[in-house]
Amino acid sequence: MKIYFKNNKPFIEGVCLDDIINSYSTPFYIYSQKGITETYNKLIENLNSEIFFSVKANSNQAILKLLKSCGAGADVVSAGELERALAAGFNSEKIIFEGVGKSKNDIQYAINNNIRLINIESINELILVNSIGYSLSKKINIGIRLNPDIDGKTLDKISTGKKTDKFGINIIQLNEIITLIKSCENINLKGISCHIGSQIHDLSTFKDVFQKMKKIANSLSGEGLNIEYVDLGGGFGVNYEKDSDDLDLKELGVLVHSTYNDTPYKISFEPGRFLVARSGILMTKILTTKENGGINFLITDAGMHTLIRPSMYGAIHRVQAINNLNTKTIIYTIAGPICESSDILVKNINLPKQEINNYLAILDVGAYGAVMAS
């Protein structure tokens, strides 16, 4: 989603930004229906697989409804997310439930709503799901979320697929869990899944994941287990420093087809960030300007309470000025109003000279933005 100027007025997709600013008080998020729809279609075109939107990236009801209408399923990690997906109209057969720490209530809620799969992440969880199935006289459809021990070469805070990460079931425990599953009368194993982390840009990492998962699926099928679904996770990288160079979907598509075209499995993915990151802008107003210790601060009404990614992960977001465009640029640090020194949105950014009550647009915030606000 881009901001462009016509007669010195800022526009997004034909809508004058001034009209939105005059109608709503800042800070607020703006999303692009067109951007999300086009990205979803691009994913389908290239991957030709089922897409489950990872609701944790953005659980805004309008966005969930939009993705549902495009044909996506939903990937949830809590009863709250499941409730939001159901409220947005997702068919329960198009919902999968992952999550490293599901409570008994979460699991019961998922079972009562007949979702497609509960992807279990530990042996204890398997035992719990089986016992709930027993008490309800039901066979529960599950997948196993595997931890393939592959380094996504991403930030430690968003890595999930190394054997020392807390997620999934370690491959060395696979035989043990399969033996247990075979003895569980109220469990029906239908698939395997994995997700090795977020912001993965390296295709060779996906290649390793696809091949390892194929080997496991084939080996389980060889044992007589009915592996219908292979879910290859999300994690598709977005380049926050420019408008281009996100993960190459065409190459990813070639990789997935060349790996799985000789298999019977239904392949799915569960991207979050890639679907929505580029289609969100955060508008904020400058509350004050000041110079402290040689640093030029712009203090804005958005901060870590509105967008926590910079202070939590050191994430970088580009910022676009929409006022005073023709003034000389200055190096600024943009900070929020919260009483935490870590409440910094961007450091050392070059912007035209700004004043109180000017507006700034923080770009590419459609994923893990509003959903993590407090």
What is the pattern of x (binds ligand PLP, CB under 6 A) and - over residues 46-65? --------x-xx--------
Q: Which CB atom, from 75 or from 343, has the smaller least distance to ligand PLP? A: 75
87: which 2 tokens?
């409220």
Q: Which CB atom, from 307 or from 351, has the smaller least distance to ligand PLP? A: 307
Angle at 10 between CA 5 and CA 13, to 5 degrees: 85
CB of residue 322 vs ligand PLP: minimum separation in angstroms? 28
CA nearest neighbour of 85 among 98, 106, 67, 112: 67
> With CB under 6 A as the contact rule, which of the stretches 18-26, 182-190, 270-278, 326-334 interacts with ligand PLP?
270-278
Q: Does 278 bind ligand PLP (CB under 6 A)?
A: no
CB of residue 209 vs ligand PLP: minimum separation in angstroms? 13
CB-count burial class (<10 Å; 0-12, 13-18, 19+) for 207? middle
The backbone torsions φ and ψ at residue 333, rounded to the nearest 5 degrees and listed phi first, read: -115, 130
H-helix or E-strand containing 28?
strand 28-31
Q: What's 332's DSSP letter? A: E
Q: Which CB atom, from 271 or from 310, has the smaller least distance to ligand PLP? A: 271
75: which 2 tokens?
């990937």
CA nearest neighbour of 234 among 205, 201, 187, 195: 195
What is the pattern of x (binds ligand PLP, CB under 6 A) and - over residues 225-254? --------xxxx------------------
Q: Does 84 bind ligand PLP (CB under 6 A)?
A: no
Q: Which CB atom, from 273 or from 351, has the smaller least distance to ligand PLP? A: 273
Q: Which of 81, 98, 106, 125 binds ligand PLP (CB under 6 A)?
A: 98
Q: Contacts with ligand PLP in 134-173 (CB under 6 A)?
A: 160
CB-count burial class (<10 Å; 0-12, 13-18, 19+) for 350? exposed
Q: Contacts with ligand PLP in 197-226 (CB under 6 A)?
A: 198
339 belongs to the catalytic site: yes
The catalytic residues are 339
